[in-house]
Amino acid sequence: MSSVAKGTRRGVGAPNRAVSIRIVLGVFLIVYLIVLPSYFAESRYILRVITTASVLSFISLGVWLTFTIGRINIGQGAFALIGGYATAILSTKFGVSFWVCLPLSGLIAGLTGIIFGLGILRLKGVYFAMITLSLTEAVRLGFLSGGDFTGGAPGISNIPLPDELGLFGITLIPDFGKVDTHIAFYYLAAVLLILGLAVIWRISSSRLGWIFKSLQQDEELSRSVGINVARYRVMAYAICCFYGGIGGAFFTVSQQSIYPSVFGVLDSLFFILYCFLGGLAFVAGPIVGAFLLFILFELLHEFQQYQQLIYSLLMISIMLWLPNGLLSLRLPAAFWRSRNIRD
Amino acid sequence: MEQVIVNSLILGMNYALIALGLTLIFAIMNVLNFAHGQMYVLGGFITYYALQVLHLPFVVGLVASVVVLVLVGLLSERLLFRRAIRVSTREESTMLLAAGLALLLESLILLFFGEKQRGMPPIISGVYQVFGVYIPAGRAFVFAIALASLIGFVTFMQFTRPGRALRAIAQDKEVTALQGVNINRYGALGFGLGAGLTGLAGSLLATIFAVNSGLGTAVSIKAFIMVMLGGAGVVSGAIAGAFVLGFLESFGYAYMPGSVTYMLIFAGMIIFLVFRPQGIMGKPWG
């Protein structure tokens, strides 16, 4: 019955809804790209918080994609670390430009993801969760005991800032050392996030996205209709790892250093939490979750030693009272509206 | 060499208690208890507090650790997990709830007991010498208690009525409920028992290795390794996994740097699970 009501509502209101979504999106973009950076241009702390939240959202988008194939991925920290070290090693030891390092880090993380994924994606449910969690630890320990190549516990420092990127003598992106670094990183993060969201949104609304969703519901059934299950789940995992690698490379360059405990088990868990808080059913879920939780965490900074306590209580409350995410809150409203129409 | 074997046995016996607690909670409630390591740390700190601050005998500290942890387990099942399992549409949310509980316990431990590493003198002083191997009496004592608890637990699971009910729930929850078993009550019992076991292990191991508030995640990860190696939700598997890890860790630490040991253990485990995803004793799943 409700599906009938929904159908009529969509039939009548579809153009209106599309327009209003476009307006909301436009307002968001203007605020995000113009209002926020110009308003907070002087307060570097706030800019840095938004920048970090953007890249955390970007990394969580990858985790969200593995959720669509029905896997709980607690290994994203490992791939952020791999991407970070790739950038660090390439730029300090081989002098490669950041603009080459960035995509290369993503590719290296993605390739590693394919190699690991071929094996571990055979596991499901909690088992996959546990093994990816172990992977986070294993990769961290690997970098810790990597000797001179990875720099051991103190890691690698003095990583150069992004240099100028030009084409035929025209400067496309200025040298980060010569402009306001905070603003430059803010825009780099913003562009990454917008591109990342666009790609994930495109994937999830295409045929590929529906294949991923079918894997989540029943792998056997998907296989029986001719979907190459092993290939598609590795593909989803590799995209996720690519996002992790790019995010890790960003943090490495913006901090200008990397060490093995930058990304740990807790970070991997937080990426999942961001997705959950926003709501797993929505592409924008991880972004909403990451911004809210990360900014909240920074606000709790005043409480010093009680910061983690309050944060953990919030986390528990979310899981108890909002188990399906913040964006699911509008569902009851839609339900009431559809009932009114029927009346 | 013999020394290392003895150390592995002592370590494995205590790890078995941790792994059994985790596997029990997993089998009964289908919850992956991320807070397991923090519960272990809490058990260790309670014993430390009873012995070093209040100067009570060890037995009191041990019992206090177990009782407090059973209560923590019962409370978290009643107040948190029962509701989360009921309201959530996805099973992952209980896992994140457990992660939240882990953070909560960790920050509470930090607030109450501070961030210092806390050790204590061995419970019994002296050293036994058996076949040319030196066994400190304190470690032998810990081994004996852990062994006795392990035998007690297995006996409870195999030969008593509540134990049978718990095993039945682990096999099939719905059919067990149809036979008139109160699932909620036994879920609480399983959670309390699992938490109590890890509290016991924390209390015992705190007398050998020191405890500190940041140890929790590492212990949880070790518990996951054991459960995965042995097969999740299987009692014999948890014990097997614990001894395998105990041996690997003791031998690795004896001949290699610590971080390399664990990296190799992780790598070996991942390769092992690719070929045998159900672990040593576990049943294959769909």
**Are the Cβ atoms of B26 and A126 closer than 8 angstroms?**
yes
Q: What is the distance between the alpha carbons of residues A69 and A234, in angstroms, rounded to a whole number?
A: 10
A316–B270 CB contact, under 8 Å: no
Q: Give the tens place of pLDDT for each residue, A54-70.
A: 999 999 999 999 988 88
Q: Closest Cα to residue A58, out of A184, A183, A195?
A: A195
Q: Which helix (H) or strand (E) holds B186?
A: helix B183-206
Give the integer Cα–Cα distance in Å for B73 and B190.
9
CB B113 within 8 A of CB B213: yes
Of the listed ranges A105-109, A172-176, A187-191, B148-152, the least confidently predicted one is A172-176
Q: Encoding tokens for residue A249?
A: 């490379």
> What is the ipTM for the molecules in this complex?
0.82
Write out the two tokens for A99. 């603009």
* CB contacts, 8 Å: A135 with chain B: 266, 270
Report yes or no on A97 lying in a domain.
yes
Q: Which of B95, B107, B260 sits opposite A312 (nearest CB)?
A: B107
β-pair type (A257-258, A165-167) = unpaired
% of chain A beyond a pLDDT of 70: 90
For A258, phi then psi, to 5°, come to -150, 145
Helix axes B216-230 and A265-278, enclosed angle (nearest 10): 80
Looking at A69-175, list the stretches that DSSP marks H as alpha helix, in order from N- to C-terminal side: 76-93, 98-120, 125-144
Tell me the helix, strand and coil percentages in chain A, rounded to 5: 75, 5, 20
B111 in reach of chain A (CB within 8 A): yes
- Nearest CA to B37 out of B175, B207, B267, B220 is that of B220
Q: Which residues of B touch A264 (CB under 8 A)?
A: 217
What rounded mean pLDDT belongs to chain B?
Answer: 86
Residue A233 lies in a domain: yes
By DSSP bridging, strand A257-258 and strand A156-157 are antiparallel
Distance, in Å, from the CA atom of A148 to the CA atom of A130, rounded to the nearest integer, reads 30
Q: What does the pLDDT read at residue A329?
A: 67
Interface of B with A in 216-245 (CB under 8 A): 217, 221, 224-225, 227-228, 232
Would A220 be classed as within a structural domain? yes
For the stretch A271-317, pLDDT in tens is 988 888 888 888 888 998 899 888 888 888 777 778 788 888 888 88
DSSP state, residue A74? -
Sequence spans of domains, chain B = 2-215
In a domain, A68, yes or no: yes
Please check whether residue A244 is in contact with residue A76, taking contact to mean a CB–CB distance below 8 angstroms.
Answer: yes
CA neighbours closer than 13 Å in the CB half-sphere of residue B256 = 14
Q: Which residue out of B274, B275, B276, B283 would a mutagenesis test of the A interface target, given it has the greatest number of A Cβ atoms within 10 Å? A: B274
**Is the confidence at residue A11, as pLDDT, over 50?**
no
Task: Name the residue facing A145 among B108, B259, B286 (closest C-beta).
Answer: B259
* B37 to A111, B197, B216, B225: CA distances (angstroms): 33, 12, 4, 13
End-to-end CA distance of chain B: 42
Task: Indicate whether A277 belongs to any domain.
Answer: no
Question: Is residue A22 domain-resident?
Answer: no
From the list B110, B224, B270, the residue facing A119 with the nearest CB is B270
First vs last C-alpha separation in chain A = 13
SS3 A160: coil
Distance CA A283, CA A306 (A): 33
Q: How many residues in total does chain B contain?
A: 286
Label residue A9 by pLDDT band (50, 70, 90): very low
Q: Which long-range contacts (CB under 8 A, 24 or more apart) does B248-253 make?
A: B249/B8, B249/B11, B250/B4, B250/B5, B250/B7, B250/B8, B250/B11, B251/B4, B251/B8
Residue B136's SS3 state is strand
User: For residue B80, what is the nearest residue in chain A, using CA coordinates?
Assistant: A320
Q: Using CA atoms, how far apart are residues B97 and B76, in angstroms rounded to an integer?
A: 10
Look up residue B273 and give its two tokens: 């699970």
- pLDDT at position B284: 52
Residue A330: what pLDDT? Answer: 58
Which two tokens mark A297? Answer: 């965490």
pLDDT in tens, A202-218: 998 899 988 888 888 88
Helix (H) or strand (E) holding A40: none
Q: Which domain holds residue A194?
A: 43-264
Q: Which residue in chain A is spatially nearest to B102 when comparing CA positions?
A: A312
Q: How many domains does chain A have?
A: 1
Q: Is residue A216 part of a domain?
A: yes
Looking at the domain assignment, is residue A234 inside a domain? yes
The identity of residue B286, as a single letter, is: G
Query: Among all chains, which residue has been given the structure tokens 């670390």?
Result: A81
Chain Cα centroid distance, residue A290: 8
CB A79 within 8 A of CB A112: yes
- Contacting residues for A25 by C-beta, under 8 A, at least 6 apart: none
**pLDDT, tens digit (0-9, with 9 covering 90-100), for A93-125:** 888 888 889 999 999 999 999 999 988 888 887
For A315, the enclosing helix (H) or strand (E) is helix A307-321
| Residue B197 confidence (pLDDT) | 93
Whole-number average pLDDT of chain A: 83
Q: How many Cα neighbours within 13 Å face the side chain of B134?
A: 4
The b/e string for A212-229 (b: 16+ C-beta within 10 A; e otherwise) is: bebbbeebeebeeeebeb
